[in-house]
A and B are shown apart, each in its own frame.
Chain A
């Protein structure tokens, strides 16, 4: 299932959080060879993890991290504006309606459909919170995966070679893409919505004054 967890809520999911930061170390340092910080416990964290971001995490059937991504609004500090404006034609994106998505990570052992389930969750965020665009920083090889699951980003630019290649891209919401991604993920739209509601609350019919 998908969990939506702010940084200050990770302590409620210790196992999930630990395996997420371990899988990030495995993906970004071990497999991609990026110059990232990995602590003595084998967990990868960067400065943006200190900004209380919103993590979207696929929890596998056995209760561990299967994949994740991290969101921050572009009204504050973001990786793309701090480090990659050379890939956005020099435009720092800034708006409460544009969120940044970084550290897209898939565990080696996760279920098929994990990447699609995460993209489906991205669509829930756009619909649920009125967000118009995501700007993503991802390893360039992800473009193939995004395209295969029906959620291809508009790639603005890439830098680096081979495993080290990094791309910046844009997503916006489309009803058709959301349905396609739902099929590839093997997750019905209703299930996806119920996970979103589990994290952010369900509409309780008004007037709730009768609760008195």
Chain B
């Protein structure tokens, strides 16, 4: 790496994800994120209603091939446990008791899939369904501490991957960027000029609790991972002028 070359930050990579125009870009983003979070694997997996699958991720290609050949989609407890749901799932909480599920698990482990996993289901428009998964090999305590720290980041990432994947779907007209409401514009503008949260709340005559919800919602609309990033995105997109 050159001396002056910019070290990529999480925010830059999320920006790349949003602007991606090809699936290969999603692949390089997910590899970067896998390394960033220091986990064995990270996978985005879209299952359409007619059963076609599509995605990107870091599993061994031999395992992906095997998964498709064996039709594991119909057996995989992660897919079965997440389909039609909208809450995140730790693999430990799924039902692995059936014979087919156990055989599947053994095959997965034999192909290097970790013993721990956390999967986030995503409900897109018109019945679209996708899953975002991180998996790793470690003990329970380490995994619990990892998911406790990162689960909200992962939930946001899951949705950002899905938004880009929807945009790249052939024949689909991209959805316009979600505009911020006037109140959100005020909120982000005041944060951008350096007001503290307490000052913003006071200026807008709302509680800090309400302000937290505004910021949470604006953060998602701006495709950001944190408030600082959200402010930068709002400026870059021209949604606020400072």
Q: Which chain A residues have a beta carbon within 8 Å of chain B's beta carbons?
A: 6, 8, 52, 54, 72-76, 85, 89-98, 125, 128-130, 132-133, 135, 154, 156, 170, 172, 197, 200-209, 211-212
Min CB distance B131 to A, Å, is 14
* CB-CB under 8 A for A90 and B210, given A6-B85, A98-B217, A206-B140: no
6 closest cross-chain pairs (CB), A and B: A201-B93, A95-B220, A130-B151, A207-B115, A89-B183, A203-B92
| Complexed CA–CA distance, A186 and B172 (Å) | 53
Q: Is B88 an interface residue (CB 8 A)?
A: yes
CA gap between A128 and B207 in the complex, in Å: 26
CB within 8 Å of A: which of B126-174? 139-140, 143, 151-152, 155-156, 158-159
Contact yes or no, B207 A154, CB < 8 A: yes
CB-CB under 8 A from B178, the residues of chain A are: 94
A54–B209 touching, CB < 8 Å? no
Complex contact A156–B210 (CB within 8 A): yes
For the complex, is B95 an interface residue (Cβ under 8 Å from A)?
yes
- B212 x A133 contact (CB < 8 A): yes
* Distance between B85 CB and nearest chain A CB, rounded to angstroms: 7
**Contacts across chains A and B counted by CB atoms under 8 Å:** 117
B213 is an interface residue with CB less than 8 A from chain A: yes
Residues in B lying within 8 Å of A, measured CB to CB: 81, 84-90, 92-96, 102, 105-106, 109, 115-116, 123, 139-140, 143, 151-152, 155-156, 158-159, 178, 181-184, 206-207, 209-210, 212-214, 216-217, 219-221
- How far, in whole Å, are A172 and B215 apart by their CA atoms in the complex? 14
A96 near B159 (CB under 8 angstroms)? yes
Distance in angstroms between the alpha carbons of A194 and B16 in the assembled complex: 42
CB neighbours of A125 from chain B (8 A): 87
Rounded to whole angstroms, the CA-CA distance of A129 and B184 in the bound complex is 26
Contact B105 A208, beta carbon cutoff 8 Å: yes
Q: Is the interface of B mostly helix, strand, loop or mixed?
A: helix
- Smallest CB–CB gap between B182 and chain A, Å? 6
Instruction: From A89, A170, A202, name the one whose CB has the most chain B CB atoms within 10 angstroms.
Output: A89
User: Which chain B positions have C-beta within 8 A of A202?
Assistant: 93
Partner of A208, one of B92, B206, B216: B92
Question: Which residues of A sit under 8 angstroms from B151, Cβ to Cβ?
Answer: 130
User: In the assembled complex, which residues on chain A have CB atoms less than 8 Å from the CB atom of B85?
Assistant: 6
Partner of A95, one of B181, B206, B217: B217
- 5 A-B pairs whose Cβ atoms sit less than 8 Å apart in the complex: A73-B86, A74-B217, A94-B217, A133-B213, A206-B115
- In the complex the two chains form, is A94's CB within 8 Å of B93's CB? no
Of the residues A54, A129, A212, contact of B88 by C-beta under 8 Å? A129
Contacts of A207 in B (CB 8 A): 115
Given contacts A91-B184, A94-B220, A201-B95, contact A130 B90 (CB under 8 A): no
Determine the chain B residues whose CB is within 8 A of the CB of A94 once the complex forms. Answer: 178, 217, 220-221
Given contacts A133-B213, A209-B115, list 20 more A-B pairs with CB under 8 A: A89-B183, A91-B181, A94-B220, A95-B217, A95-B220, A96-B156, A96-B159, A96-B220, A97-B152, A97-B155, A98-B217, A128-B87, A129-B88, A132-B212, A133-B212, A200-B89, A200-B93, A207-B115, A208-B92, A212-B102
The answer to whether A154 and B86 touch across the interface, beta carbons within 8 angstroms, is: no
Please measure, in the bound complex, the distance between the C-alpha atom of A54 and the C-alpha atom of B184, giving whole angstroms: 29
Q: Are A170 and B210 in contact (CB under 8 A)?
A: yes
- Once A129-B88, A203-B93 are accepted as A-B contacts, the answer to whether A98 and B116 lie under 8 Å apart by CB is no
Query: Nearest Cβ in chain B — how far from A38, in angstroms?
Result: 27
State the CA gap A156–B206 with chains docked (Å).
9
Quote the shortest CB–CB distance from B52 to chain A (angstroms): 22
Is the beta-carbon distance between A154 and B159 smaller than 8 angstroms? Answer: no
